[in-house]
Structure 1
Amino acid sequence: MTARLAQIARYPIKGIGTEPLETVILDQDAPMPGDRAWALRHETAPEELGWLPRKNFLVVASGPALAPVRARTETDGRIALSHPDRPDIAIAPSSDGPALIDWVRPLWPDTAPAPRLLVPAPPQGMGDNGRAELSILSLASLRALEERIGQPLQIARFRGNLILDGLAPWAEFDWIGQRLRIGDVELEITERITRCRATEASPETGQRDAEPVRALHTGWGHRDFGVYARVTKGGMIATGNEVTPI
């Protein structure tokens, strides 16, 4: 079976909202455009701008009710957000941080540090590893994990950028240090992604209803799901593109 790009997604505000895409243009040594371009810092985070670890921001690992947020980037640059328990909102990130804070506050635990400031990401984006990379996930590996855990999961729990289908389970781990071609784009696979409690939250309900990290550890002796990749040749990709090792 030929491996193909099944889904594309980005997360305009780190931890707050999933935006599916059909096509995107990627640049060499850059994150996906609009992916984690903003992050909502909480009150105990350092004041300086630039990349910071995820513990300084509102993220699903600490606030599972954020998991069902859906995002859409409008043509005027505003980010439209929706959630089953909140009214729809569209914000201009550079000026509407207070409106976002008011909107997200009911979804954030009272016991956690309060949201304070919406900040722009540095050029490399605000991904968890601090580098200008994308994350790649495999639906075959998800199916293996579902079999181990004994319940259906959603790939959205893992907040990946490029979702592939047609691989053998865990084949992506063998690609470390190798390159792939997807559409016009070439990528170098850099490392595996170690997972956290964010994966416990259902992207439909916002409830913690599964323990994927525990299942990974008991089943395979690690906590890894997916791989990071660096764009070595820019271009356009689209869902349905063939995935070819090179």
Structure 2
Amino acid sequence: MLRLSALYRFPLKSGIAEPLRQAEFDGLGLAGDRRWMLVEEGSGRFFTQRAMPQMSQLSALWNVAGGLTLSAPGFESLEVDVPENTEQSLRGVTIWRDTLRVPDAGDEAAQWLSAFMGRPTRMVHVPADRARWLPSGYGTVEDKVGFADGFPILLIGQASLDDLSAKVGRPLEMLRFRPNLVVEGSEAFAEDGWKRIRIGEMEFRLLKGCSRCILTTIDPKTGERSADREPMTTLKTYRERDGDVWFGQNIVNDGPGTLEVGMPVTVLE
């Protein structure tokens, strides 16, 4: 039987994962997931672990009011409230090909994060009415995304990771791939062929495979890159297609709802 075996929230894009037993879902996917992002102060260009691996050590815990608690080794924790969604608070930012204006979290958070990052940094928040559209050709006019790369939710089958670990020759951490949902009980890469699934009472559409990058070579515990460039080296031997390496599925939820670890998963299509 297929079941939901893990739930993860990433309140801050490229920050530490928050394991969950239960999660609410709204119009942007998992509530509180990737609603915050760090940007370069001058350009507004987004930061991720790809260029800033120290972000793997940055914890940003989400609270029910939507704010964050920032913490990192050697730093005192800082509470950050959701900024007001007003014209005066807006900052222009760029994430991949998208440019948008979103509320800035303020100077106190910027000073704390600039010290941690070692360069002038601002933090921004995306309210629902300022969210981005999905990449052209995917989803519907109702589907939007916060600060995730392109799609609101990432699903990975546990068997797919087990298969990759066996080929690499050592256990790999699921969090290298930063999924929101992990499903167990299927064959390796079975999720590649799914189009619609139900988890509990919620339904999801699988829109596109997830192309992977160097971020997967960063140890989520230490922030260090793998000297052997694993797991990308092995993935390229059997998961490369059209110049990209694929692992996991980008999905969207049809309406709000609640998931709990252990819920049954049904493939509808």
Match among 59, 71, 74 for residue 70 of structure 1: 59
1:188 is paired with a residue whose SS is: strand
* CA distance in 1: counterparts of 2:163 and 2:206, whole angstroms: 21
Aligned to 1:100: 109
1:12-91 equivalences in 2 (<5 Å) = 12-27=11-26, 29-43=27-41, 45-46=43-44, 56-91=45-80
Alpha carbons 1:17, 1:81 under 8 Å: kept: no
Aligned mate of 2:122, from 117, 124, 128: 117
Secondary structure class of the residue paired with 2:167: helix
Distance 2:78 2:12 in 1: 14
Partner secondary structure for residue 144 of structure 1: helix
Q: Output one character per residue of 1:50-108: Cα deviation in whole Å (capped at 9) or x when no partner.
A: xxxxxx31211111121133332234443123334544333224275434344344554
1:192–1:24 CA distance, 2 compared to 1 (3 A): same
Count of matched residue positions in the alignment of Structure 1 and Structure 2: 227
Q: Which runs of 5+ in 2 are unaligned?
A: 84-103, 132-144
The amino acid of 1:191's aligned partner reads K
What does residue 181 of structure 2 align with?
Answer: 162
Kindly tell me: are residues 102 and 138 of structure 1, through their superposed partners in 2, closer, same or farther at Cα, counting changes over 3 Å? farther
The two structures have a TM-score, normalised by structure 1, of: 0.82
Could you tell me which of 248, 251, 257 is aligned with 1:235?
A: 257
| Structure 1 unmatched ranges of 5 or more | 47-55
TM-score scaled by structure 2? 0.76
**Which amino acid letter does the alignment assign opposite residue 252 of structure 2?**
R
Question: What do the CA deviations read for 1:88-143 (whole angstroms, capped 9, x no partner)?
Answer: 333224275434344344554x6xxx4432222233311111x4x31111221111
Q: Indicate the larger mover: 212-221 or 31-40.
A: 212-221
Compute the RMSD of aligned alpha carbons. 2.2
**2:254 partner SS:** strand
Q: What is the percentage of aligned positions where both structures have the same residue?
A: 29
Task: Output the CA distance in 2 between the equivalents of 1:61 and 1:83.
Answer: 18
Q: Secondary structure at the match of 2:187?
A: coil
Q: Which has the higher contact order (CA 8 A, sep 6+)?
A: 1
